């Protein structure tokens, strides 16, 4: 979050604005209706000082009480109209704003679903969340109090000017004399405020960075007893923020009164020049009073400007961040003309596959192997040997750096992406549960899996008994990250999830964390049932898994070093033999009674 | 005074510090309002004068008067804003400092139970909302009240019947503000609730994106998000409906008082009971009142948001620090670094299983004790308990013969040089990072010799700016090993009595490790050292080695003794030899 605050956007960027306005497109009827409401509303409210003029000139000075009643009635009518039109306008604009926000949020979310795993490696969760939530909400202000109120202001200003010229063009010209002054004051203010806004933003960014570091590094600060030193540093950063704000306050405090002085100049001109004309009988007193009231309304929109300026700045910054995200093209997408729709048999072939997360640091080097349909493969290797990467490439979480992966003789890149992934069931080591019911977590929103299928899947992998014990059984809610389930239960649940999808190929990263013997036996049996009749690749952490595998692939430093069955590899006394000593041998006594 | 109902009351002492300025500021509000009141009055003279025959020069002086009034008013308004809004920024500054000071005191378990982002947003966004109360909130309120009081006084004086009439709609305004306020508040909370549901869903989706993709569930995720999104919009719209009525209604009610004035005031002018000038002045006052009355709605909004935010800030500020100096805490007379642990059993609050069970150890001053064990065996927990990052139970952990809980926190921690498992460096220069634990400015030579101990000096020399090189995003990216070595330098520079290495050499290769250990040997000679590691190569030279398994001591002895015993330690030793052989293939 913090690092982006450093980027200080412009207050107005035509390119961004055009793009934002593009989102109004589908709702242009509402926008049009809102503008009509706005124009009529402004017109009705502009009439009001004129009614005052009529009241003074036509009734009050002539002593005509009846006429006064008529004017008062007209005035009430204008108030009612203004109310109705304002209401209509507010509703139309805000509803439109909400719809635009809804579309934008959905678009961002949809876009996020299309982006590849590598993108999520680079961008922390918090930052992406901000795009969907806070940034979009900031934009709302642009629609509700920004864009359209600018229209409002412009229209009111021109409307008043027209009225003034109609009433008395000489006096209107006199008021226009102060306009250059007004423009000068406003421009100066704009420049000054932009500078201090920039200072404030920079200071905020520094505060954020400091807080972030000192909260994550709290242990270091505490252990070294440096609370006071860090506190002193923080007060300095905080002080800069204060000073920047005090400077900005100075400009605001100066600008608003200056505007009023300019307004008073206009009134003084009306009083003096208009007064002379009243004396000479070329202007009525009512017109003079109306002019004074108009000049008051004339300056009000301009003083709102300072506020809108700030809104505009923050919305521009937000929209820039949003569009940057939307403009990030997804690197892994479905081919336009998929060669295959679904996996038929489940034959896997790695041809000379290489891969690196970061250039120059290869994780996999020239891996080649073939897995026959229905074959059971175990992958073993030390930490960092590239085992997890192997399975991440299979379902195109990442695309290979070199070589190709073929399933049933078709390059995985030529499959329709969703179909490919549906054909490959994946069980990850760290089971991720969504907040929702147990049932939701098995079906994962797939409507083609019936409740019966889900229960059957759970029964097959021995998840059913513990689910039945939960309060609410299959409808039991799982908390954030499924905190209420044990590690073993989560594993069984994830097996049920994979089984319910009935994939041709199953890829499984066995959990390393130990579970009690009873659960271990359940898991082992569930695993056997899950793998039955499927092509499977298992990153093995259990001795039983390597013993029961048709073939074992030994990865070492990103290379495929040995292949063979458990017994063959042990006899070879190579890498596998060493790995066996390290990882599996200890399990031997417990396994002696295994299946 | 109920703090949970009125959290904003907490701000009173903060404002109290600036009562002088606040007093001047309120005086400025008064002066601004009074000056503003003069303008319609000047108009009265103009209008009345024009009906009789004034001369041109008189008219000119009226015009000048109008400009003069606005200059005076502007002057006061300038100071009003500067002082009152300025004070709000001052209080924001003070409050933020206090916030940090408090967060610094919080225990690790507290900080880890909340996300960094959550704490940060309280210090920035929430504080911002509170600042709005202190600044614009208070200023607008004072302005509105003063304006109402003074203009009412003037208007009643001018014509009380007319005033009464014109105020009926204004009274309606304040009643509806109250009515709306309550409902707006409720709907606002509903929106916030849905917003957090939307956020949670998004957060979960992104955190679990790999599962979503692996099962090709993107579309159903989008559907689920769409439903929450729609509900969020629906709740927003229900608030908008209120706002949509609120503002236009306010404008309409104010308009009604103008009509009332036009109708009854006009009649009174015709009947000769009111001059036309007074009539115009009346209109002027009403338009002065219009904006502040509408502003009431905004002020209410500011106060409501501010009070919700203040509550969130208080959640942190009112949580007492879990680990602090106990009463009567003092340093023991004899220092030297003796470390003793007696029958220590410790569990984290979140876990039912103890992390350490019945551990007893004793390290005489100047000796080295090593602790080995697998991940999760309790090694780091043990290391964390000594400087009281977590508080051990009373009577279990002793430094220099005194229970660490009886030590002043600050002096206890100053005695200990600690190298944490995960290296954390600040984005600052290398020199500042190494000298982090020192009170006074460190000499170049001290820093350099500390850097030599961990053999990071050579690396530092290779950077173009040497010791002044920045670490982190704005500077060089250090390797894991370089970071760990800097953390070692940071720990030894303060010449502590006790050194604790919490698996601190895991990111350096065995060759470098060997060299560092040799250098460290000199530093460790007369210091008590606790060496936590999962690597045998690190610990084999220790005076005593303790093997932990699931929080229990299962073996203890020297390297040679333990190897001969052929137990867990020997097993670990052989495995690591195998690992070394493997990595060399």
Band (A592; pLDDT cuts 50, 70, 90): very low
Task: Render pLDDT for A300-324 as a digit per residue (tens, 0 to 9).
Answer: 777 676 667 777 777 887 888 888 8
Domain boundaries, chain A: 2-326, 335-423+536-590
Choose the mutation target among A122, A275, A283, A579 for the interface with B, i.e. most B CBs under 10 Å: A275
Give mean pLDDT, residues B151-165: 83
Choose the mutation target among B94, B104, B115, B196 for the interface with A, i.e. most A CBs under 10 Å: B104
Q: Which chain A residue shows the shortest CA-CA distance from B492?
A: A224
Other C-beta atoms closer than 10 Å to the C-beta of B230 total 12
Let me know: does A425 contact A501? Beta carbons within 8 Å: yes
Q: Which chain B residue shows the shortest CA-CA distance from A232?
A: B97
A103-136 burial string, b = 16+ CB within 10 Å, else e?
Answer: bbbbbbbbbbbbbbbebbeebebebbbbbbbbbb
Residues 284-303 of B with CB under 8 A from A: 287
Check residue A135 and report its DSSP letter: I
Inter-chain touch A52–B247, beta carbons under 8 Å: no
State the nearest Cα–Cα gap between A372 and chain B, in angstroms. Answer: 22
Tokens encoding B7: 């959290």
A310 part of contact set with chain B, CB < 8 Å? no
Q: β-strands B402-403, B397-399: how paired?
A: antiparallel
Predicted confidence at residue B1, as pLDDT, reads 46
Closest CA to A105 of B295, B282, B228: B228
Inter-chain touch B59–A417, beta carbons under 8 Å: no
B81 part of contact set with chain A, CB < 8 Å? yes
Q: Which chain A residue shows the shortest CA-CA distance from B496?
A: A224
**Is A220's pLDDT higher than 90?**
no
Nearest to A82 among B105, B255, B266 (CB): B255
Q: Residues of B with CB below 8 A from A48's CB?
A: 255, 258
Band (A587; pLDDT cuts 50, 70, 90): low
Predicted confidence at residue B298, as pLDDT, reads 77
Residues 472-491 of B with CB under 8 A from A: 473, 490
A191 part of contact set with chain B, CB < 8 Å? no
Q: To which residue do tokens 């790999």 refer?
A: B210
**Is A595's pLDDT higher than 70?**
no
Task: Render pLDDT for B517-538 as a digit per residue (tens, 0 to 9).
Answer: 887 888 888 889 998 887 788 8
Let me know: does A200 contact A248? Beta carbons within 8 Å: yes
State the nearest Cα–Cα gap between B177 and chain A, in angstroms. Answer: 16
Which residues on neighbouring strands pair with residue A536, listed in sequence order? A376, A506
Collapsed DSSP state (helix, strand, coil) of residue A554: strand
CA angle A474, A476, A482 (to 5 degrees): 110
Band (A555; pLDDT cuts 50, 70, 90): confident
Band (B76; pLDDT cuts 50, 70, 90): very high
The number of C-beta contacts closer than 8 angstroms across A and B is 375
B204 part of contact set with chain A, CB < 8 Å? yes
Q: Residues of A with CB below 8 A from B229's CB?
A: 102, 105-106, 109
Task: Render pLDDT for A484-542 as a digit per residue (tens, 0 to 9).
Answer: 677 777 888 888 888 888 888 888 887 665 566 667 777 778 888 888 888 889 887 77
Q: Residues of B with CB below 8 A from A76's CB?
A: 256, 259
Helix (H) or strand (E) holding B310: helix B276-317
Q: Residues of B with CB below 8 A from A126's CB?
A: 115, 117
Nearest to A268 among B63, B96, B279 (CB): B63
- Alpha-carbon distance of B513 to B534, in angstroms, equals 13
Task: Render pLDDT for A450-479 as a digit per residue (tens, 0 to 9).
Answer: 888 888 888 888 888 888 887 778 887 776
Tokens encoding A9: 């956007």
**Is B152's pLDDT higher than 80?**
yes
Nearest to A223 among B243, B280, B389 (CB): B389
A245 part of contact set with chain B, CB < 8 Å? yes
Counted residue by residue, chain A has a size of 595
Nearest to B78 among A78, A257, A397 (CB): A257
- Alpha-carbon distance of B170 to B257, in angstroms, equals 7
Q: Residues of A with CB below 8 A from B418's CB?
A: 223-224
B185-215 burial string, b = 16+ CB within 10 Å, else e?
Answer: eebbebbeebbeebbebbbbbbbbbbbbbbb
Check residue A175 and report its DSSP letter: H
Give mean pLDDT, residues B288-306: 79
Residues 211-270 of B with CB under 8 A from A: 211-218, 220-226, 229-230, 232-233, 236-237, 240-241, 243-245, 247-249, 251-252, 255-256, 258-259, 262-263, 266-267, 269-270
- C-alpha distances (whole Å) from B474 to each of A31, A218, B330 are 46, 21, 42
Kindly give, in sequence order, each residue whose CB lies less than 8 Å from that of residue B235, ignoring residues fewer than 6 positions away.
Answer: B187, B190, B191, B194
Task: Render pLDDT for A378-426 as a digit per residue (tens, 0 to 9).
Answer: 888 877 778 888 888 888 888 888 888 988 888 888 888 888 888 888 8
A480 part of contact set with chain B, CB < 8 Å? yes
Q: Write phi, then psi, for A151 (nearest 5 degrees).
A: -55, -45
Helices (runs of H) and strands (runs of E) counted in chain B? 22, 10
**Is B404's pLDDT higher than 70?**
yes
Domains of chain B: 7-317 (1.20.1560.10), 339-584 (3.40.50.300)
Inter-chain touch A129–B62, beta carbons under 8 Å: no
Q: Residues of B with CB below 8 A from A581's CB?
A: 574-575, 578
Let me know: does B364 contact B310? Beta carbons within 8 Å: no
Let me know: does B528 contact B499? Beta carbons within 8 Å: yes
Check residue A480 and report its DSSP letter: G
Other C-beta atoms closer than 10 Å to the C-beta of A157 total 16
Kindly give, in sequence order, each residue whose CB lies less than 8 Å from that of residue A516, ignoring residues fewer than 6 positions away.
Answer: A488
**Is A152's pLDDT higher than 80?**
no
Could you confirm whether domain A2-326 is CATH 1.20.1560.10?
yes
Tokens encoding A548: 């029961």
**Structure pTM?**
0.77
Give mean pLDDT, residues B165-189: 78
The mean pLDDT value of chain A amounts to 81
Give mean pLDDT, residues B486-490: 89
- Alpha-carbon distance of A535 to A347, in angstroms, equals 7
Predicted confidence at residue A306, as pLDDT, reads 64
Kindly give, in sequence order, each residue whose CB lies less than 8 Å from that of residue A330, ignoring residues fewer than 6 positions away.
Answer: A111, A114, A115, A116, A119
Q: To which residue do tokens 């606790």 refer?
A: B530
B584 part of contact set with chain A, CB < 8 Å? no
Predicted confidence at residue A3, as pLDDT, reads 39
Collapsed DSSP state (helix, strand, coil) of residue A62: coil
**Is B461's pLDDT higher than 80?**
yes
A583 part of contact set with chain B, CB < 8 Å? no
CA dihedral of residues A415, A418, A420, A426 (deg, nearest 10): 160
Burial class (CB in 10 A: 0-12, 13-18, 19+), B343: exposed
Residues 49-68 of B with CB under 8 A from A: 50-51, 53-54, 56, 59-60, 62-64, 66-67
Other C-beta atoms closer than 10 Å to the C-beta of A455 total 20
Collapsed DSSP state (helix, strand, coil) of residue A39: helix
Inter-chain touch B81–A213, beta carbons under 8 Å: no
> Of the CATH numbers 3.40.50.2300, 3.40.190.290, 3.60.21.70, 3.40.50.300, which one belongs to the domain with range A335-423+536-590?
3.40.50.300
Task: Render pLDDT for B86-138 as a digit per residue (tens, 0 to 9).
Answer: 999 999 999 999 998 888 888 877 877 777 777 887 888 789 889 999 998 99
**Is A297's pLDDT higher than 50?**
yes
Band (A346; pLDDT cuts 50, 70, 90): confident
Inter-chain touch A48–B258, beta carbons under 8 Å: yes
Predicted confidence at residue B342, as pLDDT, reads 92
Q: For B72-85, what is the HEC assignment?
A: HHHHHHHHHHHHHH
Q: Residues of A with CB below 8 A from B450's CB?
A: none
Please tell me which of A151-155, B21-25, B235-239, B557-561 the model is most confident about, judged by mean pLDDT: B21-25
Q: Which chain A residue shows the shortest CA-CA distance from B272?
A: A63
**Is A51's pLDDT higher than 50?**
yes
In percent, how much of chain B has pLDDT > 70? 98
CA atoms in the 13 A half-sphere facing the CB of A373: 9
Q: Residues of B with CB below 8 A from A500's CB?
A: none
Inter-chain touch B233–A101, beta carbons under 8 Å: yes
- Alpha-carbon distance of B212 to B221, in angstroms, equals 8
Q: Residues of B with CB below 8 A from A395's CB?
A: 213-214
Nearest to A83 among B96, B115, B249 (CB): B249
Tokens encoding B200: 């949670």
Tokens encoding B466: 């040497």
Tokens encoding B530: 């606790």
B145 part of contact set with chain A, CB < 8 Å? no
Kindly give, in sequence order, each residue whose CB lies less than 8 Å from that of residue B250, ignoring residues fewer than 6 positions away.
Answer: B173, B176, B177, B293, B294, B297
B197 part of contact set with chain A, CB < 8 Å? no
Write the DSSP string, B38-56: HHHHHHHHHHHHHHS---H
Inter-chain touch A125–B206, beta carbons under 8 Å: yes
Tokens encoding A62: 């002539």
Task: Render pLDDT for B313-363 as a digit per residue (tens, 0 to 9).
Answer: 898 888 888 888 888 888 877 778 889 999 999 988 766 778 888 999 999
Strands, E assignment, A305-442: 348-356, 362-371, 376-380, 402-407, 410-411, 424-427, 436-437
Tokens encoding B138: 């208070």
Task: Render pLDDT for A81-132 as a digit per residue (tens, 0 to 9).
Answer: 988 998 898 888 888 888 888 898 889 888 888 888 888 877 777 778 778 8
Band (B64; pLDDT cuts 50, 70, 90): very high
Tokens encoding A559: 């290379």
Tokens encoding A304: 């709102």
**Is B485's pLDDT higher than 90?**
no
ipTM score: 0.82
Task: Render pLDDT for B535-572 as a digit per residue (tens, 0 to 9).
Answer: 788 888 888 999 988 888 999 998 889 889 888 888 88
- Alpha-carbon distance of B123 to B315, in angstroms, equals 12
Collapsed DSSP state (helix, strand, coil) of residue A496: helix
Q: Residues of A with CB below 8 A from B47's CB?
A: 285, 288-289
Contacts by A197-204 with C-beta closer than 8 Å and gap 24+?
A: A197/A8, A197/A248, A197/A310, A197/A313, A198/A8, A199/A244, A199/A247, A199/A248, A200/A241, A200/A244, A200/A245, A200/A248, A201/A5, A201/A8, A202/A6, A202/A8, A202/A244, A203/A237, A203/A240, A203/A241, A203/A244, A204/A5, A204/A241, A204/B124
Predicted confidence at residue A303, as pLDDT, reads 67
**Is B499's pLDDT higher than 60?**
yes
B1 part of contact set with chain A, CB < 8 Å? no
Q: To which residue do tokens 């795993």 refer?
A: A117
A382 part of contact set with chain B, CB < 8 Å? yes
Write the DSSP string, B243-298: HHHHHHHHHHHHHHHHHHIIIIIHHHHHTTSS-HHHHHHHHHHHHHHHHHHHHHHH
**Is B269's pLDDT higher than 80?**
yes
């Amino acid at each position: 979050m913090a690092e982006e605050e450093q980027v200080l956007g412009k207050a107005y960027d035509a390119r961004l604005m055009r793009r934002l306005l593009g989102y109004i497109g589908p709702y242009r009827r509402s926008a049009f209706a809102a503008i009509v409401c706005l124009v009529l509303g402004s017109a009705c409210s502009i009439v009001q000082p004129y009614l005052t003029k009529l009241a003074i000139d036509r009734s009050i000075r002539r002593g005509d009480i009846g006429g006064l009643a008529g004017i008062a009635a007209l005035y009430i009518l204008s108030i009612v109209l203004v109310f109705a039109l304002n209401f209509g306008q507010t509703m139309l604009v805000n509803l439109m704003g909400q719809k635009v926000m809804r579309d934008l949020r959905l678009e961002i979310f949809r876009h996020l679903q299309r982006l590849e795993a590598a993108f999520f490696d680079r961008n922390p969760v918090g930052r992406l969340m901000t795009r969907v939530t806070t940034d979009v909400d900031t934009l709302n202000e642009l629609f509700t109090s920004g864009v359209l109120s600018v229209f409002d202001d412009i229209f009111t200003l021109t409307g008043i000017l027209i009225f003034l010229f109609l009433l008395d063009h000489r006096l209107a010209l006199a008021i226009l004399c102060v306009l250059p002054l007004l423009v000068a004051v406003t421009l100066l203010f704009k420049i000054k405020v932009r500078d201090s806004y920039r200072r404030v933003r920079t200071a905020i960014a520094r505060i954020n960075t400091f807080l972030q570091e000192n909260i994550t590094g709290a242990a270091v600060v505490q252990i070294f007893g440096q609370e006071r030193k860090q506190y002193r540093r923080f007060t300095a950063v905080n002080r800069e923020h204060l000073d920047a704000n005090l400077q900005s306050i100075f400009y605001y405090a100066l600008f608003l009164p200056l505007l009023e002085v300019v307004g008073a100049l206009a009134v003084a001109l009306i009083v003096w020049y208009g007064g002379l004309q009243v004396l000479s009988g070329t202007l009525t007193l009512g017109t003079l009073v109306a002019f004074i009231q108009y000049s008051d309304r004339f300056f009000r929109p301009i003083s709102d400007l300072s506020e809108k300026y700030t809104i505009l700045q923050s919305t521009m910054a937000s929209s820039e961040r949003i569009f940057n995200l939307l403009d990030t093209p997804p690197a892994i997408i479905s081919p336009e003309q998929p060669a295959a729709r679904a996996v038929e048999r489940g034959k896997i072939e790695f041809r000379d596959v290489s891969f690196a997360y970061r250039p120059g640091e290869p994780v996999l080097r020239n891996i080649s192997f073939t897995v026959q349909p229905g074959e059971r493969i175990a992958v073993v290797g030390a930490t960092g040997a590239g085992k997890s990467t192997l399975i991440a490439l299979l379902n195109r979480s990442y695309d290979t750096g070199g070589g190709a992966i073929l399933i049933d003789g078709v390059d995985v890149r030529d499959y329709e992406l969703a179909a490919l992934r549906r054909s490959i069931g994946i069980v990850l080591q760290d089971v991720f549960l969504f907040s929702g019911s147990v049932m939701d977590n098995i079906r994962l929103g797939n409507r083609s899996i019936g409740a019966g299928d889900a229960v059957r899947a759970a029964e097959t992998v021995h998840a059913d008994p513990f689910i039945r014990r939960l309060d609410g059984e299959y409808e039991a809610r799982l908390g954030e990250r499924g905190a209420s389930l044990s590690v073993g239960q989560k594993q069984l649940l994830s097996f049920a999830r994979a089984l319910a999808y009935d994939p041709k190929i199953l890829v499984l990263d066995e959990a390393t964390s130990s579970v009690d013997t009873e659960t271990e036996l359940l898991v082992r049996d569930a695993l056997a049932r899950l793998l039955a009749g499927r092509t499977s690749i298992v990153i093995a952490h259990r001795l039983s898994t390597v013993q029961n595998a048709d073939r074992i692939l030994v990865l070492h430093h990103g290379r495929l070093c040995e292949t063979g069955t458990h017994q063959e590899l042990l006899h070879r006394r190579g890498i596998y033999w060493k790995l066996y000593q390290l990882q599996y041998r200890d399990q031997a006594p417990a396994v002696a009674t295994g299946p | 005074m109920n703090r949970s109902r009125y959290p904003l009351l907490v701000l009173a002492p903060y404002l109290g510090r600036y009562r002088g300025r606040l007093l001047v500021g309120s005086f400025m509000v008064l002066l601004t309002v009074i000056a503003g009141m003069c303008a319609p009055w000047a108009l009265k003279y103009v209008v009345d004068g024009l009906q009789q025959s004034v001369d041109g020069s008189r008219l000119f002086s009226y015009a000048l008067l109008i400009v003069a009034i606005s200059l005076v008013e502007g002057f006061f308004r300038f100071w009003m804003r500067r002082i009152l809004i300025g004070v709000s920024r001052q209080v924001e500054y003070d409050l933020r400092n206090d916030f940090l000071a408090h967060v610094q005191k919080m225990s690790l378990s507290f900080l880890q139970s909340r996300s960094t982002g959550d704490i940060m947003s309280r210090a920035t966004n929430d504080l911002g909302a509170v600042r709005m109360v202190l600044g614009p909130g208070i200023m607008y309120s004072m302005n509105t009240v003063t304006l109402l009081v003074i203009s009412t006084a003037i208007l009643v004086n001018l014509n009380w019947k007319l005033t009464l009439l014109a105020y009926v709609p204004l009274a309606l305004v304040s009643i509806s503000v109250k009515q709306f306020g309550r409902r707006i508040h409720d709907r606002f909370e509903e929106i916030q609730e849905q917003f957090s549901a939307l956020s949670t869903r998004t957060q979960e989706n992104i955190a679990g994106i790999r599962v979503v993709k692996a099962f090709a569930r993107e579309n159903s995720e989008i559907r689920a998000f769409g439903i929450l999104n729609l509900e969020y919009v629906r709740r927003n719209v229900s608030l908008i409906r209120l706002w949509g009525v609120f503002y236009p209604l306010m404008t309409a009610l104010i308009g009604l008082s103008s009509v009332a004035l036009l109708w009854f005031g006009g009649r009174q002018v015709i009947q000769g009971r009111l001059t036309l000038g007074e009539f115009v002045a009346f209109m002027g006052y009403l338009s002065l009142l219009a904006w502040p009355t509408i502003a009431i709605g905004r002020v209410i909004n500011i106060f409501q948001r501010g009070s919700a935010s203040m509550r969130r800030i208080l959640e942190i500020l009112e949580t007492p620090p879990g680990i602090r100096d106990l009463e009567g805490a003092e340093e023991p007379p004899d220092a030297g670094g003796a470390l003793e642990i007696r029958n220590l059993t410790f569990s984290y609050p979140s876990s039912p299983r103890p992390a350490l069970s019945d551990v007893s150890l004793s390290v005489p001053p100047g000796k080295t004790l090593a602790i080995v064990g697998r991940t999760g065996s309790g090694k780091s927990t043990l290391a964390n308990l000594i400087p009281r990052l977590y508080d051990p139970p009373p009577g279990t952990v002793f430094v220099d013969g005194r229970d660490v809980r009886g030590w002043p926190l600050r002096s206890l921690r100053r005695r200990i040089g600690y190298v944490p498992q995960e290296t954390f460096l600040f984005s600052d220069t290398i020199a500042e990072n190494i000298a982090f634990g020192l009170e006074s400015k460190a000499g170049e030579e001290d820093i350099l010799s500390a850097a030599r101990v961990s053999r990071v000096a050579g690396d530092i020399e290779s950077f173009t700016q040497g010791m002044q090189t920045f670490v982190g995003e704005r500077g060089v990216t250090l390797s894991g090993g370089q970071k760990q070595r800097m953390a070692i330098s940071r720990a030894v520079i303060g010449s502590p009595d006790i050194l604790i290495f919490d698996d601190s050499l895991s990111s350096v290769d065995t060759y470098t490790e060997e060299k560092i250990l040799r250098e460290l040997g000199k530093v460790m000679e007369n210091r008590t050292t606790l060496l936590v590691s999962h690597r045998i190569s690190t610990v084999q030279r220790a005076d005593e080695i303790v093997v932990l398994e699931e929080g229990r001591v299962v073996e203890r002895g020297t390297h040679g003794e333990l190897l001969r015993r052929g137990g867990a330690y020997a097993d670990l030793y052989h495995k690591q030899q195998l690992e070394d052989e493997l990595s060399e293939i």
